[in-house]
């Protein structure tokens, strides 16, 4: 590589400061989109939360719609990897059961959103917004459906008498229940008159498994 080419590459590569600013903007957008939804979070609010000028939000994130899609996508690959690694390990140990398949999909999400800190907690609430609004169907299809289809194939293999329509329906029900557990533990605790809801992952898995088998 020539000295001139190296200089051009250095000019194109973002600095550490620029990358840190970008992540701070994305973290702020994630928190505000999760708390207020798409309409409730303005570029001005995001800039204030990230402690940057509004022009920098546009520079790093583009329009609000593009920023929203980028924030959803940036953790999707990690989540997909963890889920598929769990599935591969389960398959390597022997024939899969329905409970094992559902665990490989649900448990990584529950663990990340409940134990992964404030950013993953916000991400869980953000995904609830995406899943409940048809406007974001294209984001869900791009970020999550490739992994979902892998799991649907495995579920179909252990439930050969169930139609694809029924399996897909119960899968959506399962995702809704999973998101409710991540975002509404306060509601469960309130109804149970307890300070905090205990770990309910096993109860969720039993509930979802029974639904698929019904």
Domain with 39 in it: what CATH number? 1.10.10.60
Domain with 129 in it: what CATH number? 1.10.357.10
Rounded to whole angstroms, the Cα distance separating 148 from 9 reads 38
pLDDT at 185: 85
- Cβ neighbourhood burial of 191 (10 Å; 0-12, 13-18, 19+): exposed
pLDDT at 6: 52
pLDDT at 186: 86
Q: DSSP 3-state assignment of 154? A: helix
pLDDT at 7: 53
Domain membership of residue 68 (yes or no) is no
Q: What is the pLDDT of residues 153-163, one digit of tens each?
A: 999 999 999 99
Residues 56 and 92 in one domain: no
Residues 125 and 200 in one domain: yes
Q: DSSP 3-state assignment of 22? A: helix
Residues 57 and 81 in one domain: no
* Domain assignment of residue 14, given as a range: 1-62
CA 189 to centroid of chain Cα atoms: 24
Q: What is the pLDDT of residues 32-53, one digit of tens each?
A: 999 999 999 999 999 999 999 8
Give the chain's residues under pLDDT 70.
1-14, 196-197
Residues 115 and 199 in one domain: yes
pLDDT at 51: 93
Residues 153 and 179 in one domain: yes
Residues 205 and 104 in one domain: yes
In order of 4, 26, 83, the CA distances from 102 in angstroms are: 54, 30, 10
**Beta carbons of 107 and 201 less than 8 angstroms apart:** yes
Residues 164 and 194 in one domain: yes
Residues 119 and 48 in one domain: no
| Residue whose C-alpha is closest to residue 42's, from 52, 53, 55, 33 | 33
**Beta carbons of 32 and 49 less than 8 angstroms apart:** yes
Residues 94 and 15 in one domain: no
Residues 51 and 101 in one domain: no
Q: DSSP 3-state assignment of 63? A: coil
Residues 117 and 198 in one domain: yes
Domain membership of residue 67 (yes or no) is no
pLDDT at 208: 97
CA 169 to centroid of chain Cα atoms: 20
């Amino acid at each position: 590589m020539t000295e001139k080419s190296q200089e051009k590459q250095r000019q194109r590569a973002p600095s550490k400061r620029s990358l840190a600013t970008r992540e701070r903007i994305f973290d702020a957008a994630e928190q505000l989109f999760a708390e207020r939804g798409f309409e409730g979070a303005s570029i001005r609010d995001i800039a204030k939360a990230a402690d940057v000028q509004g022009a920098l939000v546009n520079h790093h994130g583009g329009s609000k719609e593009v920023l929203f899609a980028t924030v959803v996508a940036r953790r999707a690959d990690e989540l997909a990897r963890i889920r598929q690694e769990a599935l591969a390990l389960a398959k390597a140990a022997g024939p899969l059961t329905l409970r094992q398949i559902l665990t490989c999909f649900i448990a990584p999400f529950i663990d990340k959103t409940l134990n992964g800190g404030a950013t993953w907690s916000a991400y869980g609430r953000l995904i609830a917004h995406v899943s409940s609004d048809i406007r974001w169907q294209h984001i869900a299809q791009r970020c999550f459906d490739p992994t979902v289809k892998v799991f649907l194939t495995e579920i179909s293999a252990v439930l050969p008498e169930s139609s694809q329509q029924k399996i897909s329906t119960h899968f959506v029900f399962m995702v809704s229940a999973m998101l409710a557990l991540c975002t509404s533990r306060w509601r469960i605790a309130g109804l149970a008159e307890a300070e905090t809801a205990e770990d309910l992952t096993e109860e969720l898995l039993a509930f979802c498994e029974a639904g698929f088998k019904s």
